[in-house]
Amino acid sequence: MMYMAQVTGDVSGGLNGWAVDVIDALGGLGLAIFTALDSMLFGVLPVDVLLPLVGYSATRGAINIGVAVVCATVGAVVGGVLQYALGAKLGRDRARALLMKIPGIKPDTVDRAEDWFARHGAKAVLFGRVLPVLRPLISIPAGVERMPLPKFVVLTAIGSLMWNSALLGSGYLLGENWRRVTHYAGTFSYIALGALAVAVVVYAVRRRKQAAAPVGESERAEVG
């Protein structure tokens, strides 16, 4: 078996080194655990660095790129559901008080996540998974407001799949230059957001046309 640390060269210590050790030991399961922890711990882990590294390691046989995408997405969904459950159990005030005790989380970031969900609902969960500022927190207001769990899971899975595929795929395509991905992670998030927005608009237009079609047909029948 080829290990990530061997195929990617020197890897910095700390959380990056720990993450590599976990994936070395557990493979795709280790990657799923890491992305789940990233969601559960409100984005404090360096997932935007790790995923391009994993994508590059896939070019050298350390892990299958398809397995990596699936495992990273499953982990993100599991972590998101646990955050959702936390929000549902604690309610807004206690959840907010807990978040304020976590280093690195600012009141305006929590306000932004709450406002985003209040204004956009389901779209906030979908789009929030590809926006670095909102991704760590968007599941909490969804739980507080008790969004239907199946709907939350589907939206979280789609958004996480987009983001994980972008990071892993970029590392895979860039190969030894995988570190460049970290400089453009913000750009990737807005590209993914734009793609999702277009998809939602296209879907909404098609649904509207389908809903209007029977009405138009009945009107033509009455005129005839």
In Å, how far are 42, 98, 167 from 106, measured between CA atoms?
Answer: 12, 12, 26
Domain that holds residue 129: 4-218
Does residue 138 fall inside a structural domain? yes
Distance between CA atoms of residues 53 and 168, nearest Å: 8
In angstroms, how far is CA 56 from the centroid of its own chain? Answer: 20
Does residue 180 fall inside a structural domain? yes
Q: Is 65 helix (H, G, I), strand (E, B) or coil?
A: helix
The one-letter code for the residue type at 165 is S
Does residue 124 fall inside a structural domain? yes
Question: Is 80 or 134 the better-scoring residue by pLDDT?
Answer: 80
In angstroms, how far is CA 83 from the centroid of its own chain? Answer: 13
Does residue 147 fall inside a structural domain? yes
Does residue 204 fall inside a structural domain? yes
Distance between CA atoms of residues 107 and 30, nearest Å: 32
In Å, how far are 53, 160, 169, 172, 219 from 127, measured between CA atoms?
Answer: 24, 9, 19, 24, 38
Residue 9 reports pLDDT greater than 60 = no
In Å, how far are 39, 42, 78, 80, 154 from 87, measured between CA atoms?
Answer: 13, 13, 14, 11, 18
pTM for this predicted structure: 0.73
- pLDDT on residue 153: 94
pLDDT tens figures, 105-154? 777 778 878 887 887 778 788 877 777 777 778 888 888 888 999 999 99
Does residue 223 fall inside a structural domain? no
Residues 6+ apart with CB under 8 A from 47: 34, 35, 38, 167
Does residue 25 fall inside a structural domain? yes
Distance between CA atoms of residues 190 and 108, nearest Å: 20
Average pLDDT, the chain: 76
- pLDDT on residue 163: 86
**Number of domains present in the structure of the chain:** 1
Cβ proximity of 38 and 22 under 8 Å: no
Distance between CA atoms of residues 95 and 86, nearest Å: 7
Q: Is 154 helix (H, G, I), strand (E, B) or coil?
A: helix
